[in-house]
Copies of this chain bind each other. A is one copy, B any other.
């Protein structure tokens, strides 16, 4: 299949001479070779807030998102509020590489947010990790 714009398949990884490497979809936490190219990582964080903290959570989370998108390892940090249940949010966090989530958690804005929202949770946050498929990694 020939490469097409907007599709990662067929394009070599940046700085590589070889064929494209796909992120292995194993979810395994085993060792990862530092020379491999892992591509864009997307994390959806599902949040359930107690009803009287919805606006406080929204404000704290937008403040955190505004700082997060300035991190070089973060391509997007979208904040979405569910229709039909205003107490439910999804944070769509798009990281440029595998190391970026850990660097994000070292920032002052993340730690401020984490502590501020801790008492606002109706249930523990859950997250799901995804490999990017479309658009191309460099189009995020």
Chain A residues within CB distance 8 Å of chain B: 1, 4-7, 9, 23, 25-27, 42, 44, 58-59, 61-62, 65-66, 69, 77-86, 89-90, 92, 128-135
Contacts and interface: CB of A to CB of B under 8 A. Distances in A.
Contacts of A131: 80-83
Given A25-B86, A66-B6, A79 B1 contact: no
A7 to B, nearest CB: 5
A109 to B, nearest CB: 13
Given A66-B6, A92-B92, A134 B25 contact: no
Contact of A23 (B26, B83, B90): B83
- Copies of chain A in the complex: 2
B81 A133 contact: yes
A107 B27 CA distance: 36
Nearest to A66: B6
A67 to B, nearest CB: 10
B4 A133 contact: no
Given A62-B134, A90-B128, 12 more contacts: A9-B62, A25-B85, A25-B86, A42-B80, A58-B133, A78-B134, A81-B130, A82-B128, A82-B130, A82-B131, A83-B128, A84-B129
